């Protein structure tokens, strides 16, 4: 009995402990749920309360708002200097880049073969048109001229020709003999015809006369043809003589243009074949400027327009040219129109190959709205000015153009006659009250 009672008491103690733990867990869950509920109510209700409060403030009466504004202190006017936007005439142009090139470039070559006996120019030297550049050994050329003259004289003597007079083939001795024989045979044929008609001679004798006359005609024609052939040979020999004289003249090499020696290809003593190069000449006055015009300005280009240019070698000098040639089409890769301008170079200061920064003038008297440069502010890459209207500053974003001294062009944003602020720009903002002065 005692053992049974002890076991029962132990089971009762365990059951009580289990129930106690269960109650504790239930209590903790209730507390957690209450905390979560409270936090949720705070999150939902608090914004609504704040919104209601803000609406209450915004729904104040206009009289209260006006009183608040009147109570706020008014900032003093900002002293600014002003200037009126004016209209001026400017030169309109297109900024382009290009390269200078020689107006002409000529390779001087030998027209007659031979040894280069004399060379009168060198690299970088200047020559005038017609100046003797080089001399080629002329001994062979002179001998060929003499040979051609002798052959021509021989042929002319055979024909009985004299230089400078008109030649008649009938005057040739061979032709004259053949003509005389023809006349004799014709007379004999006429006599034999009368005799055979009268029956005084046989028909065979008449036939012999006819044959002799025909042979005489053939000999005469052959003589005339031979003379004409000799005359043709004379003309051929005269042409050969002219070629020989030209070859002799070609031994003296002259400059076809005025310019400078770009390259020297041969030296004295060099044997030159026909077309052997001697020097290269370039004409550098005037020069050609080749420039590429952007597509948007291609329609503004005309021949005769003025173009100004600068080169790095002479940064302080401004050179002037005019457009003389315009390309037929735009480059498909660059979308640019190539033009050529003629640039005067009297002092030979410019050189072919120089890089030039150019300005093609498309209009000489174009109207433009100008303001002082100090009136323009550049902020974050934007140009802006303050226009003064009725004692207040109005901020405007503008598009600028060309500079003219202390003035700058306003392409867009300001009209002529409007006043712009030129001082204390850093203190101005949209709507600022200003005290304008000059």
pLDDT digits (tens, 9 = 90+) for 20-56: 566 665 656 566 656 555 555 545 655 554 555 444 4
pTM of the model: 0.56
Query: pLDDT tens digit string along 241-300?
Result: 999 999 999 999 999 999 999 999 999 999 999 999 999 999 999 999 999 999 988 888
pLDDT score recorded for residue 27? 56
pLDDT at res. 321:
93
Q: List beta partners, residue 67.
A: none
Exposed, middle or buried, 380 (CB in 10 Å: 0-12/13-18/19+)?
exposed
Which has the minimum average pLDDT: 3-17, 306-320, 411-425?
Answer: 3-17
Residue with tokens 């409007």: 418
pLDDT value at residue 55: 46
pLDDT at site 40: 53
Ramachandran angles phi, psi of 402, nearest 5°? -80, 155
- Which range has the worst mean pLDDT, 225-234, 331-340, 345-354? 225-234
């Amino acid at each position: 009995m005692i053992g049974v009672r002890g076991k029962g008491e132990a089971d009762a103690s365990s059951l009580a402990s289990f129930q106690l733990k269960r109650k504790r867990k239930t209590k903790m869950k209730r507390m957690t749920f209450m905390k979560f509920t409270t936090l949720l109510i705070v999150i939902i209700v608090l914004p609504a309360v704040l919104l209601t409060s803000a609406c209450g403030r915004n729904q104040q009466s206009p009289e209260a708002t006006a009183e608040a504004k009147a109570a706020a202190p008014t900032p003093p006017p900002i002293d600014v200097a002003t200037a009126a936007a004016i209209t001026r005439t400017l030169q309109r142009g297109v900024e382009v880049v290009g390269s200078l090139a020689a107006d002409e470039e000529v390779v001087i070559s030998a027209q007659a073969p031979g040894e280069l006996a004399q060379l009168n120019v060198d690299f970088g030297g200047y020559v005038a048109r017609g100046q003797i550049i080089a001399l080629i050994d002329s001994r062979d050329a002179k001998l060929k001229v003499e040979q051609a003259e002798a052959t021509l004289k021989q042929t002319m003597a055979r024909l009985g020709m004299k230089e400078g007079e008109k030649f008649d083939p009938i005057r040739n001795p061979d032709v004259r003999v053949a003509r005389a024989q023809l006349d004799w045979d014709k007379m004999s044929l006429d006599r034999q015809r009368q005799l055979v008609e009268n029956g005084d001679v046989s028909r065979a004798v008449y036939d012999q006369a006819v044959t002799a006359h025909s042979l005489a005609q053939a000999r005469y024609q052959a003589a005339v043809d031979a003379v004409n052939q000799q005359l043709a040979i004379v003309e051929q020999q005269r042409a050969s003589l002219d070629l020989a004289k030209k070859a002799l003249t070609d031994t003296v090499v002259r400059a076809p243009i005025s310019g400078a020696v770009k390259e020297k290809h041969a030296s004295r003593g060099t044997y030159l074949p026909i077309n052997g190069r001697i020097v290269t000449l370039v004409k550098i006055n005037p020069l050609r400027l080749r420039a590429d015009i952007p597509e948007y300005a291609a329609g503004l280009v005309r021949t005769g327009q003025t173009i100004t240019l600068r080169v790095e070698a002479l940064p302080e000098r401004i050179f002037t040219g005019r457009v003389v040639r315009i390309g037929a089409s735009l480059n498909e890769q660059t979308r640019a129109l190539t033009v050529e301008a003629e640039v005067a170079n009297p002092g030979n200061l410019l050189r072919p190959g120089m890089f030039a920064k150019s300005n093609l003038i498309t209009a000489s008297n174009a109207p433009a709205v100008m303001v002082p440069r100090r009136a323009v502010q550049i902020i974050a890459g934007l140009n802006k000015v303050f226009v003064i209207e009725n004692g207040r500053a109005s901020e405007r974003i503008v598009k600028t153009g060309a500079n003219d001294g202390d003035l700058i062009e306003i392409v867009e944003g300001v009209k002529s006659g409007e006043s712009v602020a030129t001082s204390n720009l850093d203190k101005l903002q949209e709507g600022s009250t200003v005290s304008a002065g000059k």
